[in-house]
A and B are shown apart, each in its own frame.
Chain A
Amino acid sequence: MSDRYILAIDQGTTSTRCILFDRRATVVAVARAEHPQSYPRPGWVEHDAARIWRDTQRLITRAMRSAGIGADQVAAIGIANQRETAVVWDRATGVPVAPAIVWQDTRTSSLVSALDPALISERTGLQPATYFSATKVRWLLDHIPGLRARAEKGEVLFGTMDSWLIWNLTGGREHLTDVTNASRTMLMDLSTLSWDPALLDVCTIPQAMLPSIRSSSEVYGAASSVLPGVPIAAAMGDQQAALFGQTCFAAGDAKCTYGTGGFLLMNTGSTPVRSTHGLLTTVGYRIGSEPVAYALEGSIAVAGSLVQWVRDGLGLIGTASEIETLAGTVADNGGCYIVPAFSGLFAPHWRSEARGVIVGLTSYITKGHLARAVLEATGWQTREVVDAMNADSGLALTGLNVDGGMTADNMLMQIVADVLSVPVVRPMVAETVSLGAAYAAGLAVGYWSDLQDLRNNRHSAGRWDPGMDGERRAAEYRRWQRAVQSAVYFSDDQGQT
């Protein structure tokens, strides 16, 4: 009997990846391709959805060839995708009517400022922002002549990248999205898990163009052209997929992905937790007809990008990894703190006018101290988000599962463990986003039997235990908080002049 595998498609912001996993959750084959980012005007970010679909087909074929397997050996396909990015396409021809508007695109900021934050937050758990799909769809309907009339007749369809790929994979038979992706459109009612008529009305989006909302793990249909007959059995937003891939299945389990920024998600169980600290309430995942697992999400705006700034803006290091080498030349931060509020302070402060500061400078401070303050800034920002989550959820974080490029920084991981005072664990499979999609798909077709079966696959590749003395932690946190206040104070002063 030949072995069977799960194919995960990770359709990300800069690249698409196809990964084959075996039953032990080991990576058997990887195929990856970057796609161009288009910036036609200031604030605009677009993707060519047709190109992404072509890439996906090519990558599937390449992954299959590199593993030396046939379609009959693929038990299911799971999809994880960049969230919120909006595609509108012609139902009859399958051709996108415009470039996809990417989550980072800010062209709809005036539409967003007209929204009622209380209504949005109450219905969707989100704070109105240009990230979410709703205003992007509205923009297309407003700006492409005749599009709204066609949308009302159901001649054009909207979807996030999961919908777009599933529609194409099934040869145009299935127009659907999963509940995690739907929760990021700013159009879904978080408690009924269906499109909210009031929000559709506010955003003037016709119901006829919307995909149906399904769970994250169920057989949606079979693939037609590539891998004909193979069930498509999962879809999830990428951060939720990472939560699932990190096997954060119990309330209180959390993961943080450290890249240019950081995304921290905590599973809060089957009832949505409303944040009073400016965190987002979102859907973690839903398996078949089981109750939804909700999550709180907080982001760290500046993490790896601060290191990049030290490299490119200050020229203190040649590669990002050297920040650790530089930080290792000193024993502590020497009293220096960096608050990287490059574009304001995010959760839990929400002070968009704040600007970054470096405080505590004396003639004693060297670039080594600055490097250490850079790494500590990511640690303390994580601490602030975790504190807000603990307060909102009434749960206490007992450990943090980490992934992303910055987990290669040993000192940073130790700092995170120290400032959170909980163990930080790096899993053996670094591709947690793809793994989450694979897990959800494998569950739906019985490739894996249950969540415990998935947990058994989980192995730690590394673990950092907190080693900082409690008094010192508290004192350092107080100084960090004062540094944050000075970032706000400085901006206030600027406002007066």
Chain B
Amino acid sequence: MIQSIERSSAVLRLLAAGPDRLRVKEIADALGLPKSTAHGILRTLEHVGFVEQDPRTTRYRLGRGLLDLGDAGLDVNELRSRALDWADALAARTVEAVRIGVLQGDSVRVIHHVFRPDDTTQAMDTGLVVPAHATSLGKILLAYDVTALSLGGLDPYTRKTVTVRRELARALAEVRAQGWASAVEEWESGRAGIAAPMRTFGGLVVGAIGIYGPVERICDSRLRPRPALVEQVRATAHAISRDLSGPRR
């Protein structure tokens, strides 16, 4: 048994049971803990959003993060708003279109799209649903989703689409090992994407961010994703994850 988890659970039960907001001292006394230990547990629970401290009275209560437990996680529109500036910067640096996606059933829903900054006419993809197994965004989301491989049929879109379940499982294991994904002409021929996971507290993946564009720009002559672009995508995902794991605005 892990003692700190037991103690944290006790703190949450205590806050849930009491009609009033509690002081650190009251919580420490109720559980027979040193005040510093209770404080440490409360700070950590506050960090993950499970408790909140009233800034005026300094008393603690249950946090909104607990309400989200039943939902898919972070609200997608909140996710977009938190990632917006980073996504713009990624598009500016790579000169490619940027998309953010979340899992919807066995597909990916695009929740944000930044145009490629080259003044060509582009249509907004926000709201578009794309296949998960054939896109880099989807591979990220499948790789970190526990229900991923119970999905239905793997439709072919091009001759490069992975349609064999065992092959996909192998690809997803590779994604987890390297921390990013690519899909080269697996959904639309001539197009490729690179994506990386956006994580919140404790490493939980809440979405994927990536670039998508012509294969000759995304990949080198041997159709391998360009390392510099991979690095940009990973750095952006990392920066967003750091922001998502910080205090809520």
Chain B residues contacting A464 (CB-CB under 8 Å) are: 124
B92 touching A318, Cβ below 8 Å: no
Q: Which residues of A have CB within 8 Å of B84?
A: 408, 430
In the complex, A352 has a CB within 8 A of chain B? no
From residue A245, how far is it (CB to closest CB) to chain B in Å? 14
Q: Does B114 contact A (CB under 8 A)?
A: yes
Chain B interfacial residues counted at CB < 8 A? 28
**Alpha-carbon distance A405/B85, docked complex (angstroms):** 10
Q: Which residues of A contact B91 (CB under 8 A)?
A: 428, 461
A26 contacts chain B at the CB level, 8 A cutoff: yes
Report the Cα distance A408→B126, complex, angstroms: 12
Q: Which residue of B lies closest to A27 (CB)?
A: B89
Cα–Cα distance between A115 and B157 once the two chains are bound (Å)? 71
Residue A105 at the B interface, CB < 8 A?
A: no
Distance, CA A462 to CA B115, complexed state (A): 6
Whether B115 pairs with A321 at a CB distance below 8 angstroms is no
Instruction: Let me know if B29 is at the binding interface, CB within 8 A.
Output: no
Whether A463 and B85, one on each chain, are in contact in the complex, defined by CB atoms closer than 8 angstroms, is: no
B6 within 8 A of A: no
Is A322 part of the contact surface with B, judged by Cβ < 8 Å?
Answer: yes
Q: Does B76 contact A (CB under 8 A)?
A: yes
Contact, CB under 8 Å: B115 / A408: no
CA distance A92 to B119 in the complex (A): 52
Cβ contacts B68-100/A at 8 Å (1 or 0 each): 000000011110110011001101110000000
Q: Kindly supply a per-residue 1/0 record for chain A positions 458-487, scoring 1 wherever the CB is within 8 Å of any chain B CB and 0 otherwise.
A: 011111110000000000000000000000
Q: Are A321 and B85 in contact (CB under 8 A)?
A: no
Asked whether, in the complex, the Cβ of B117 is within 8 Å of the Cβ of A428, the reply is yes
A321→B126 contact, CB < 8 A = no
In Å, the complex CA distance between A271 and B63 comes to 56
A410 interfacial by beta-carbon distance below 8 Å: yes
Q: Which residues of A contact B118 (CB under 8 A)?
A: 459
A366 at the interface (CB under 8 A from B): no
Task: Tell me whether B222 is interfacial, beta carbon within 8 Å.
Answer: no
- Known contacts: A321-B80, A410-B80. The answer to whether A461 contacts B75 by CB under 8 A is no
Tell me if B234 is interfacial: C-beta within 8 Å of chain A: no
Name the contact of A461 in the complex, choosing from B76, B115, B249 (C-beta under 8 A). Answer: B115
Cα of A322 to Cα of B75 in the assembled complex, Å = 7
User: Chain A's interface: helix, strand, loop or mixed, by majority?
Assistant: mixed
Cross-interface CB contact of A408 among B64, B81, B127, B248, cutoff 8 Å: B81
Q: B113 within 8 Å of A by Cβ?
A: yes
In whole angstroms, what is the CA distance A143 to B126 when docked?
Answer: 56
Docked pose: A194 CA to B126 CA in angstroms: 49
Partner pick for B119 among A26, A409, A460, CB 8 A cutoff: A460
Write the nearest CB–CB distance from A13 to chain B, whole angstroms. 18
Chain B contacts of A323 at CB under 8 A?
77
Determine if B115 and A319 form an interchain contact, defined as CB atoms under 8 angstroms apart: no
Q: Report if A55 contacts B (CB, 8 A).
A: no
Q: Which of B77, B88, B92 interacts with A321 by CB under 8 Å?
A: B77
User: Are B114 and A430 closer than 8 Å at their CB atoms?
Assistant: no
Distance to closest chain A CB from B95 (angstroms)? 9
Contacts of B117 in A (CB 8 A): 428, 459-461
CB atoms of B115 and A459 under 8 A apart: yes
Q: Nearest chain B CB to A25's CB is how many angstroms away?
A: 9
Distance in angstroms between the alpha carbons of A465 and B114 in the assembled complex? 15
A308 part of interface (Cβ distance < 8 Å): no
In the assembled complex, how far is the CB of residue A311 from the closest CB belonging to chain B, in whole angstroms? 11
- In whole angstroms, what is the CA distance A437 to B77 when docked? 31
User: Would A321 and B124 count as touching, CB distance under 8 A?
Assistant: no
B88 touches A461 (CB 8 A): yes
Contact B81 A318 (CB under 8 A): no
Q: Which residues of B contact A462 (CB under 8 A)?
A: 113-115, 124, 126
A418 an interface residue at 8 Å Cβ cutoff? no
What A residues does B122 contact at CB under 8 A?
A: 460, 463
Nearest Cβ in chain A — how far from B12, in angstroms? 19
Contacts of B124 in A (CB 8 A): 462-465
Q: How far does the alpha carbon of A182 sit from the alpha carbon of B48 in the complex, in Å?
A: 49
For B115, list chain A residues within 8 Å (CB). 428, 459-463
The answer, among A320, A325, A463, for a CB contact under 8 Å with B76, is A325
Find A410's partner among B85, B88, B126 (CB 8 Å cutoff): B126
A27 to B93, CA, bound (A): 10
Give Cα A205 to B124, complex, Å.
53
A324 at the interface (CB under 8 A from B): yes
Answer whether A319 and B119 are a contact pair too, CB < 8 Å, given A428-B88, A428-B91: no
- Cβ of A322: which chain B residues have Cβ within 8 Å of it? 75, 77-78
Q: Determine whether the beta carbon of A26 is less than 8 Å from that of B78.
A: no
Looking at the assembled complex, report how far the CB atom of A251 sits from the nearest CB atom of chain B, in whole angstroms.
22
One digit per residue, 1 when the CB lies within 8 angstroms of any chain B CB and 0 when it does not, for chain A 15-44 equals 000000000001100000000000000000
Other A-B contacts than A428-B117, A429-B92, 6 sampled, CB-CB below 8 A, are A322-B75, A325-B75, A325-B78, A405-B81, A410-B127, A459-B119
Interface residues, chain A, with chain B CB atoms under 8 Å away: 26-27, 318-325, 405, 408-410, 428-430, 459-465
15 cross-chain CB contacts under 8 A: A26-B93, A319-B78, A321-B75, A321-B81, A322-B77, A325-B78, A428-B92, A428-B114, A430-B88, A461-B91, A461-B115, A462-B115, A462-B126, A463-B122, A463-B124
